[in-house]
A and B are shown apart, each in its own frame.
Chain A
Amino acid sequence: QVQLQESGPGLVKPSETLSLTCAVSGYSISSGYYWGWIRQPPGKGLEWIGSIYHSGSTYYNPSLKSRVTISVDTSKNQFSLKLSSVTAADTAVYYCARGFAAAGRIYFDYWGQGTLVTVSS
Chain B
Amino acid sequence: AIRMTQSPSSFSASTGDRVTITCRASQGISSYLAWYQQKPGKAPKLLIYAASTLQSGVPSRFSGSGSGTDFTLTISCLQSEDFATYYCQQYYSYPLTFGQGTKLEIK
Where the two chains meet, the residues of A that have a C-beta atom closer than 8 Å to any C-beta of B are: 45-48, 51, 59, 61-63, 95, 97, 100, 102, 105-109, 111-114
B46 and A108 within 8 A (CB): yes
Question: Which residues of chain B (49-107) have a CB below 8 Å from chain A?
Answer: 49-50, 55, 87, 89, 91-101
Distance, CA A48 to CA B43, complexed state (A): 14
Apart from A45-B99, A61-B94, A105-B92, 6 more pairs, CB < 8 Å: A46-B89, A59-B94, A102-B49, A108-B89, A111-B43, A114-B43
A47 and B98 within 8 A (CB): yes
Q: Is chain B's binding surface mostly helix, strand, loop or mixed?
A: loop
A63 and B95 within 8 A (CB): yes
B45 and A111 within 8 A (CB): yes
Partner of B32, one of A59, A102, A111: A102
Where the two chains meet, the residues of B that have a C-beta atom closer than 8 Å to any C-beta of A are: 1, 32, 34, 36, 42-46, 49-50, 55, 87, 89, 91-101
Q: Which residues from chain A contact B99 at a C-beta distance below 8 Å?
A: 45
How many CB-defined contacts (below 8 Å) exist between A and B? 58
Distance, CA A47 to CA B101, complexed state (A): 12
Distance, CA A100 to CA B48, complexed state (A): 13
B43 and A46 within 8 A (CB): no
Q: Which residues from chain B contact A59 at a C-beta distance below 8 Å?
A: 94
A61 and B95 within 8 A (CB): yes
Distance, CA A109 to CA B34, complexed state (A): 10
Whole-angstrom distance between the Cβ of B29 and the nearest chain A Cβ: 9
Whole-angstrom distance between the Cβ of B66 and the nearest chain A Cβ: 15
A102 and B91 within 8 A (CB): yes
Q: Which residues from chain A contact B46 at a C-beta distance below 8 Å?
A: 107-109
Distance, CA A80 to CA B94, complexed state (A): 20
Q: Which residues from chain B contact A108 at a C-beta distance below 8 Å?
A: 34, 36, 44, 46, 89
B34 and A48 within 8 A (CB): no
